[in-house]
Amino acid sequence: MGCPTTVFVEITLSGQADEVLEAFEREVARVPDVLECHLMAGKSDYLLKVVAENTEDFARIHRQYLARCPACKACSQASPCAPCSRRRPCRFRGGPGGAPAPPCPRLRLVKGWGG
């Protein structure tokens, strides 16, 4: 077995009402291969970071999970050629006395995501 591959997936939904976004986020939180899910501003609605064993495994993840997500209108993916840089996550100081900023409230809506 080779090294796992990372795939970035852009998802466009058929709408952006709260119930559509929440249904999508609940479904994606159930997909064990999705490492990260980000609500985006711009052309697509979400950016997912997915890990797969190989291209055949990603095809299975796409068919079994991503293509079946509620209100999924379009899905495109890109695989990185090589990492250019890697940094440790930074802690933004946003609270009183320089305390870390609280987690995003939207992530707390979805059981299993965030904190």
Distance CA 35, CA 31 (A): 9
Q: Is 40 a domain residue?
A: yes
Output the domain CATH number for residue 94. Answer: 3.30.70.920
Work out how many domains the chain is built from and give that number.
1
Q: Is 114 a domain residue?
A: no
In this prediction, residue 106 carries a pLDDT of 46
Q: What is the pLDDT of residues 21-73, one digit of tens each?
A: 999 999 999 999 999 999 999 899 999 999 999 999 999 999 999 989 889 99
Distance CA 6, CA 4 (A): 7
Show the domain range for 25: 5-80+90-109
Average pLDDT over residues 73-86: 81
Q: Is 85 a domain residue?
A: no
* Residue 71 backbone class (left: φ over 0; alpha: ψ -120 to 50; beta: rest): left
Assign 101 a pLDDT band (cuts: 50, 70, 90).
low
Provide the whole-model pTM. Answer: 0.72
